[in-house]
Amino acid sequence: MKSALKKADLIKDYIINTRRELHRHPEPAFKENWTHDFIKKQLKNLGCKPKTLNKTGLTADIGKGKNRIALRADMDALPIPEENSLAYKSENKGFMHACGHDTHMAMLLGAAKLFTDTKNPPPVRLIFQPSEEKTPGGAKGMIEEGALKGISEIYAIHINPEAEVGTLTLKSGVMLATADEMEITIIGKGGHAAEPHKTIDPIYASALFINQTQSLVSRKAAPKSPFVISICTINGGTAFNITPDKVKMKGTVRTIDKELWQKAPQWIENILKGLNLSLGIDYELAYERGYPIMKNDPKKTENLIKIAESIFKNIELMESPIMGGEDFAYYLQEIPGTFVFMGGANKKKGIHSKLHSANFNIDENALPLGTALLYSLATK
């Protein structure tokens, strides 16, 4: 009997071509229409009966029997203009699969191909989920529409463009943080730049706000408690000589400490309230709670490690959780399972980049390993 890895290697071309096709067509959260149709067609070609869920998501059941396990891939891309010069570069200007969801879908379609090539495939459910990047996340809707019905365990792989091909990285227990999202509007009073005393300058107020958020991390959190507050967008003003009325900012709060998580919105609002008093600005704060803390099930993790040993050269256990959030956490709140990072870098070939960067890139030789892992999880 051929090993899972050998089987996956035989369909390497299919996986890579599928990934490239998806890479060309990045679509943002809940607008994965082309992607949805492409996957639907692929699944039908493989003899599956895909169901559309949660706007642009899909599920497809393969095989029969008890203890059906779910394998999940996320579908959405990011609003980042691609800077790579690849033959299969993004054709949707301003968007890019810079978080590798194209690879997740391709690996899962590869596994689908292996299952459907088998006479008696194990009971699996493929979950293609929209909107992982944007709260409240697509996982919630998938679950609400029944994606986990009849499922006893669930797995997902995330590509890591910083780790070498052949590396699998994971952690038992808490592995990923909460990820809240906030939008802040500072409302001042616009006017001519030459008359600052007749304006309330929202750009200066924003500077004080951004500056003061640093101290929530440096002074309010216990040193041992991971805590991140990042302001990631800022926009205001139209001309060099007109003080604007407003500045808008977006950002995120991350932690694995429940108390910090509870207090953060109030602390942030208190900074804004303070600036209201001292500068006279008004503000709007839209604070949206993000994905829950993600906990891998210890037993499923242990089992996955055993399976993975024949596929990956290097299995790394993480010492501490990382601050990225994932809506896969919603699935793991319902049923046991495990989420893993899989290396996609190849430093010898000069392939080495970061998630969410405009030159995100991976060595596609990594993809059969992921397909093999997904396949093995269901067959063993």
Binders in 223-242 for a second copy, by CB under 8 A: 223-224, 226-242
Should residue 120 be labelled a site residue for a second copy when binding is judged by CB under 8 A?
no
Should residue 172 be labelled a site residue for a second copy when binding is judged by CB under 8 A?
no
What would the two tokens of residue 364 be?
């596609």
State the amino acid at position 298 in one-letter form: P
332/169 Cα distance (integer angstroms): 18
Should residue 285 be labelled a site residue for a second copy when binding is judged by CB under 8 A?
no
Should residue 62 be labelled a site residue for a second copy when binding is judged by CB under 8 A?
no
What would the two tokens of residue 274 be?
């303070």
Give Cβ neighbours of residue 133 (< 8 Å, ≥ 6 apart): 28, 29, 76, 77, 78, 99
Over the window 191 to 210, marking each residue x when it contacts a second copy by CB under 8 A and - when it does not, the resulting string is: xxxxxxxxx-x-xx-xxxxx
Catalytic residue among 330, 331, 364, 375: 364
190/198 Cα distance (integer angstroms): 8
Nearest to 145 by CA among 65, 27, 51: 51
Q: How far is the CB of 263 from a second copy (least distance, A)?
A: 11
Q: How far is the CB of 217 from a second copy (least distance, A)?
A: 4
Which 75-104 positions form the footprint of a second copy (CB under 8 A)? 78-80
4/10 Cα distance (integer angstroms): 10
Should residue 299 be labelled a site residue for a second copy when binding is judged by CB under 8 A?
no
Q: How far is the CB of 28 from a second copy (least distance, A)?
A: 9
CB-neighbour burial class of residue 380 (10 A; exposed 0-12, middle 13-18, buried 19+) = exposed
316 is an active site residue: no
Nearer to a second copy among residue 179 and residue 377 (C-beta): 179
Give Cβ neighbours of residue 361 (< 8 Å, ≥ 6 apart): 84, 86, 161, 351, 353
Q: Identify the residue among 10, 174, 187, 217 touching a second copy (CB under 8 A).
A: 217
Q: How far is the CB of 199 from a second copy (least distance, A)?
A: 8
Report the DSSP beta bridge partners of residue 283: 186
291 is an active site residue: yes
Should residue 53 be labelled a site residue for a second copy when binding is judged by CB under 8 A?
no
Cβ atoms of 168 and 376 closer than 8 Å: no
Q: How far is the CB of 359 from a second copy (least distance, A)?
A: 10
362/137 Cα distance (integer angstroms): 25
Q: Identify the residue among 215, 262, 310, 314 touching a second copy (CB under 8 A).
A: 215
Should residue 337 be labelled a site residue for a second copy when binding is judged by CB under 8 A?
no
59/233 Cα distance (integer angstroms): 34
Nearer to a second copy among residue 145 and residue 183 (C-beta): 183
Which 244-273 positions form the footprint of a second copy (CB under 8 A)? 244-245, 247, 250-252, 254, 270-271, 273
Should residue 32 be labelled a site residue for a second copy when binding is judged by CB under 8 A?
no
Nearest to 213 by CA among 282, 277, 280, 285: 285
Nearer to a second copy among residue 149 and residue 192 (C-beta): 192
Which positions are catalytic? 291, 364
